């Protein structure tokens, strides 16, 4: 069982960067605005359908793989919530002499300064783009929901002219010609917005349709909605708590609930995690109703084909699993051989016991924190059944007993 609740450590979600169209106004002299950039020429190979790209899911539910920029291999995350492919400023693929000012982007947590770097060739599976370029910015590990940083976020500019077939069960994806239908399933509308330049659809929550919803493979959460959307659509009586999200612009505290039913086109999903952004949060600031993230998509084989106006969901044996709920109320990050408390969830047992952000844990029931903690069996302690008692050893030699319970 994959513990997506315990990513860095607790990834009920850790949404990553979700930047929209970089702004070109008030740019420095020499700035390369989106409209004036060389877009490059992208072509699919004749055998593109056979060129599957293997990937692994990061602890934050993001699709991580390897591709090439100018002949150099880079690690990348598939991110349909980003308008323009983004290269980490610290990546070895950055050629500093080529960098130009590139305006600003709105991201989770705030605004981010961008640069622009032209490229000769970009290769992803059966797709090769000649010319064009990438945006360049700081891309810390926490912003990508992983314990280690990646080089690249692959965005709409490289992906949207083709159909994207993601087979989460076999950990592989491919780009194929738009219009192809490699499998049958439940469908929902999909397009690319003219202003934000990202993949968008809609959901039905309760009796309300919320739109537009960014379809964001780079967001490790399941469903995220604005505070206003939640007030309009939420079924009555649902208990909520809080969680923390990390984007390129920093950390954001959001609400968290489990919705009994979410509809995406003809697809009906039960018991789905929903994050509720604070007032004037990221989605509201860019004029959307929220996001559909990889934490939701990963339960299906998914075809994203915005040119054909559709996405297709094929149910798998893991579709509609019960979400893992924290019974501890502690959201943590892994720091080598220790855990660091990043957030104490509202109304949980950890809050009642006085846990604070920054507290350190070096042992769980007397067992030291292993280096492979996010995928190790010991990581299940935070979602054990209510009534369980866990002894958490501090790095200062003290210990505290936390009794777990259901609280949302």
Q: Is the pLDDT of residue 285 over 70?
A: yes
pTM for the predicted model, two decimal places: 0.87
Phi, psi at 185, each rounded to 5°: 180, -165
- pLDDT tens for 6-23 read 322 322 233 333 333 333
CATH of 330-403, one of 1.10.3720.10, 3.30.470.10, 2.30.42.10, 2.70.70.10: 2.30.42.10
pLDDT class for 2, splitting at 50, 70, 90?
very low
- pLDDT tens for 288-341 read 999 999 999 999 999 999 999 999 999 987 666 788 899 999 999 888 899 999
pLDDT (0 to 100) of residue 6: 31
Three-state helix/strand/coil letters over the chain: CCCHHHCCCCCCCCECCCCCCCECCCCCCCCCCHHHCCCCEEEECCCHHHCCEECEECCCCCEEEEEEECCEEEEEEECCCCCCCEEECCCCCCCHHHCEEEEEEEECCEEEEEEEEECCEEEECCEEEECCEEEEECCCHHHHCCCCCCCEEECHHHHCCEEEEEEHHHCEEEEEECCCCCCCCEEEECEECCCCCCEEEEEEECCEEEEEEEEECCECCCEEECHHHHHHHCCCCCCCEEEEEEECCEEEEEEEEEEEEEEECCEEEEEEEEEECCCCCHHHHCCCCEEEEHHHHCCEEEEEEHHHCEEEEEECCCCCCCCCCCCCCEEEEEECCEEEEEEECCCCHHHHCCCCCCCEEEEECCEECCCCHHHCHHHHHHHCCCCCEEEEEECCCCEEEEECCCCC
Q: Which CATH class is domain 4-176?
A: mainly beta
What are the b/e assignments for 136-174, b being 16+ CB within 10 Å?
bbebebbbbbbbebbbbbbbbbbbbbbbbbbbbeeebbb
Judge if 4-176 and 179-315 fold alike in CATH terms: yes
Q: What kind of architecture, by CATH, is found in domain 179-315? A: Beta Barrel (2.40)
Q: Is the pLDDT of residue 269 over 70?
A: yes
Task: Tell me how long the chain is.
Answer: 408
Stretch 158-171: mean pLDDT, rounded? 97
The C-alpha atoms of residue 347 and residue 190 are separated, in whole angstroms, by: 37
Domain borders along the chain are 4-176, 179-315, 330-403
- pLDDT tens for 53-91 read 999 998 788 999 999 999 999 999 999 999 999 999 999
Quick one: what percent of the chain has pLDDT higher than 90? 76
């Amino acid at each position: 069982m994959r513990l997506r609740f315990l990513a860095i450590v607790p990834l009920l979600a850790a949404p990553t960067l979700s930047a929209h169209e970089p702004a070109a106004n008030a740019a420095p002299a020499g700035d390369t605005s989106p409209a004036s950039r060389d877009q490059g020429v992208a072509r699919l190979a004749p055998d593109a359908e056979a060129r599957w790209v293997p990937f692994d899911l990061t602890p934050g539910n993001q699709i991580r793989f390897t591709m090439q920029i100018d002949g150099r291999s880079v690690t990348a995350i598939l991110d349909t919530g980003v308008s323009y492919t983004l290269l980490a400023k610290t990546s070895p693929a950055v050629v500093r002499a080529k960098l130009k000012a590139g305006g600003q982007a709105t991201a989770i947590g705030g605004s981010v300064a961008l640069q622009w770097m032209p490229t000769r060739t970009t290769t992803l599976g059966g797709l090769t783009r000649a010319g064009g370029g990438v945006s360049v910015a700081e891309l810390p590990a926490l912003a990508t929901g992983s314990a280690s940083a990646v080089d690249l976020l692959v965005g709409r500019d490289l992906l949207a002219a083709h159909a994207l077939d993601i087979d989460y069960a076999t950990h592989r994806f491919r780009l194929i010609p738009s219009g192809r239908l490699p499998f049958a399933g439940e469908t929902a509308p999909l397009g690319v917005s003219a202003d934000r330049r990202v993949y968008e659809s809609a959901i039905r929550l309760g009796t309300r349709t919320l739109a537009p919803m960014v379809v964001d493979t780079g967001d490790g959460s399941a469903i995220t909605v604005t505070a206003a959307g939640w007030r309009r659509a939420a079924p009555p009586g649902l208990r909520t708590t809080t969680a923390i999200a990390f984007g390129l612009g920093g950390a954001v505290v959001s609400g968290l609930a489990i919705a009994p039913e979410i509809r995406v086109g003809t697809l009906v999903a039960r018991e789905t995690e929903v994050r509720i952004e604070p007032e004037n949060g990221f989605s509201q600031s860019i004029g959307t109703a929220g996001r559909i993230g990889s934490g939701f998509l990963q339960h299906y084989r998914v075809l994203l084909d915005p040119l054909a106006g559709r996405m297709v969901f094929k149910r798998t044996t893991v579709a509609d699993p019960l979400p893992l709920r924290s019974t501890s109320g502690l959201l943590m990050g892994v720091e080598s051989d220790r855990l660091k408390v990043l957030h104490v969830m509202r109304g949980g047992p950890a809050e009642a016991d006085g846990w604070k952000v920054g507290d350190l844990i070096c042992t769980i029931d007397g067992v030291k924190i292993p280096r492979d903690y996010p995928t190790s069996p010991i990581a299940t302690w935070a979602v054990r059944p209510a009534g369980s008692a866990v002894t958490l050893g501090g790095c200062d030699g003290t210990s505290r007993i936390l009794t777990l319970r259901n609280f949302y």
